[in-house]
């Protein structure tokens, strides 16, 4: 038998360290060749680390949440044969025992008499059990003075559950004091106002840690400014309904998002400084001809941004199909690293959740993000008449170092013109 040491592999693309997000084995487990040992995260992609050999787990090289450098010890296995580690090498869990203090040569130990055993203490008297509080009969109102009622409201106490010690069951101030003292030990059944003292520490690891780091970096580096505009999407929604009725079965049904994506692609032709990435360390803004749209997607693990590549070369149905595929890959955890990096501008949508205005955070190192609000039907004055129109807000944020306020506003107005005259989306 021998020991086989598995190190954190080089995953490529210049990655120097990864975060350990899950162990699939524990010490004492027997693993087969190619069995997954652990999951690690690089940027936003989760990578499985398989075992190159079969054996028995001796020790793990880290705990979930640790950031580990490539080449450091990941796991040790007990294997048949010689293994790849000397038999006497310490395991990762081994710790050097502290050396005993040297005894003085000329000093003999002196016996110290043991102290007498402490006298047995009398057992504490049991605390009286809290008195059960039975609610009053339905419809029976508690009797209390206005001062007692006001104090009960301030304390968040329902008088229905407070037994009264005064005449005819009147609730007194002393009864409120007794109830407050008792409430921490045993809350009355049915009470809406129960103090809670539980705490739950949640370690920030994996995707949630990456999101936190990304958001902090974006807000630290980028001076945001947000521009909000109201869009009349009545005609756009009517066109979308017609397209779905005519082509929905064969080409797929369209939502608002692919039409908005198409409008952004067309508007960006006049604003190349917005379809860009800013390397502020090098002081270089790179403008892109290709539009790689980041689609902010909520998953069980947190927010991910899969990338719809070359949106400029796709029609709305192709965009819709690719958005659906990317969203499913992100939510199932099957999105590849290449599908999660390289966006040049991002769309985020909180429309289904409501809200009026958002201040979206730019997906660094991009310089712009477009936030989509919900569609609401409201009365609007048109040609002197009050008519019902479908309205939606766009809340767009820009990097003020790269995009001037006027340019950001003109870009949003260009998107607005296309959405309010949707036939232009299909005209080159």
The set of residues, in sequence order, having a beta carbon less than 8 Å from that of 129 and lying 6+ positions away, is none
Quote the pLDDT of residue 138. Answer: 64
pLDDT in tens, 209-238: 888 989 999 999 999 999 999 999 999 999
Q: Is the pLDDT of residue 97 over 80?
A: no
Catalytic residue among 78, 400, 407, 410: 400
- What 3-state DSSP class applies to 379? strand
In this predicted structure, the answer to whether residue 112 has a pLDDT above a threshold of 50 is no
- The answer on pLDDT for 111 being more than 50 is no
Residue 347, Ramachandran bin (φ over 0: left; ψ between -120 and 50: alpha; else beta): beta
- Using one digit for the tens of pLDDT, what is the confidence trace for 20-60? 989 999 999 999 999 999 999 887 677 889 999 999 999 99
pLDDT tier, 95 (very low <50, low <70, confident <90, very high otherwise): very low
Comparing 10 with 394, the larger pLDDT belongs to 394
Sheet with 345-349, strands from edge to edge, namely 224-232, 385-399, 368-382, 345-349, 293-295, 307-308
Question: Would you call 404 a catalytic residue per the annotation?
Answer: yes
Inter-CA distances, 338 with 24, 44, 194, 343, 350, Å = 25, 10, 50, 10, 25
Q: What pLDDT band is residue 128 in, cutting at 50, 70 and 90?
A: very low
Mean pLDDT value across residues 8-28:
87
Position with higher pLDDT, 390 vs 91: 390
Are 18 and 70 within 8 A, CB to CB? yes
Q: How far is CA 384 from the centre of its chain?
A: 47
Q: 73 or 180, which is more confident? A: 73
- Per-residue pLDDT, 198: 78
Which residue is catalytic, options 10, 279, 315, 404? 404
**Is residue 135 over pLDDT 70?**
no
Residue 351 vs residue 35, higher pLDDT: 35
Residue-level pLDDT at 1 = 78
- Give the model's confidence band at 14: pLDDT under 50 very low, under 70 low, under 90 confident, else very high: confident
> What's the alpha-carbon Rg for the chain, to the nearest Å?
33
- Band (pLDDT 50/70/90 cuts) for residue 100 is very low
Mean pLDDT computed over every residue of the chain: 85
Residue 98 has pLDDT above 50, yes or no: no
Residue 123 has pLDDT above 70, yes or no: no
User: What pLDDT, on the 0 to 100 scale, is given for residue 126?
Assistant: 45
Contacts of 351 (CB under 8 A, 6+ apart): 256, 372, 373, 374, 375, 392
Q: What pLDDT shows up at residue 94?
A: 36
Least confident of 202-206, 210-214, 223-227, 393-397: 202-206
β-strands 36-42, 45-50 pairing: antiparallel
Eight-class DSSP state of 341: S
pLDDT score for 211: 87
Tokens at 69, concatenated = 């450098």
Nearest alpha carbon to residue 41 among 331, 328, 337, 364: 337
């Amino acid at each position: 038998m021998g020991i086989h040491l598995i190190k954190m592999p080089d995953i490529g693309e210049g990655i120097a360290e990864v975060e350990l997000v899950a162990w699939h084995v524990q010490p004492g487990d027997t693993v087969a060749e190619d069995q997954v040992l652990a999951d690690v995260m690089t940027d936003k992609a989760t990578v499985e680390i398989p075992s190159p050999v079969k054996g028995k787990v001796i020790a793990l090289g880290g705990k979930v949440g640790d950031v580990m450098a490539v080449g450091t010890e990941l796991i040790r296995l007990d294997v048949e044969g010689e293994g790849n580690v000397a038999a006497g090498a310490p395991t990762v869990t081994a710790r050097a025992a502290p050396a005993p203090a040297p005894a003085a040569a000329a000093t003999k130990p002196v016996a110290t008499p043991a102290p007498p055993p402490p006298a047995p203490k009398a057992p504490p008297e049991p605390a009286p059990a809290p008195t059960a509080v039975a609610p009053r009969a339905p419809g029976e109102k508690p009797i209390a003075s206005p001062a007692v009622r006001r104090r009960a409201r301030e304390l968040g106490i329902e008088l229905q559950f407070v037994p009264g010690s005064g005449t005819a069951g009147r609730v007194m101030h002393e009864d409120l004091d007794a109830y407050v003292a008792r409430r921490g030990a045993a809350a009355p059944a049915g009470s809406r106002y129960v103090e809670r003292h539980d705490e739950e520490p949640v370690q920030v690891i994996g995707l949630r840690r990456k999101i936190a780091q990304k958001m902090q970096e974006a807000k630290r580096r980028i001076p945001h400014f947000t521009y909000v505009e109201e869009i009349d999407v009545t005609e756009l929604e009517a066109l979308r309904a017609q397209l779905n009725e005519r082509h929905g079965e064969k080409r797929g049904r369209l939502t608002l998002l692919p039409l908005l994506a198409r409008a952004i692609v067309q508007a960006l032709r006049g604003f190349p400084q917005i379809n860009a990435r800013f390397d502020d360390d090098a002081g270089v803004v790179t403008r892109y001809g290709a539009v790689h749209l980041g689609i902010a997607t909520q998953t069980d693990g947190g927010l991910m941004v899969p990338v719809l590549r070359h949106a400029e070369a796709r029609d709305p149905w192709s965009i819709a199909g690719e958005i659906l595929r990317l969203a499913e890959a992100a939510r199932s955890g099957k999105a590849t690293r290449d599908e999660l990096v390289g966006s040049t501008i991002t769309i985020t949508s909180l429309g289904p959740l409501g809200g009026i205005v958002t201040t979206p955070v730019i997906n660094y190192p991009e310089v712009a993000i477009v936030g989509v609000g919900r569609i609401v039907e409201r009365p609007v004055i048109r040609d002197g008449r009050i008519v019902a129109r479908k309205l939606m807000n766009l809340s767009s944020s820009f990097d003020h170092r790269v995009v001037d306020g006027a340019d950001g506003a003109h870009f949003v107005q260009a998107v607005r013109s296309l959405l309010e005259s949707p036939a232009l989306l299909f005209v080159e």
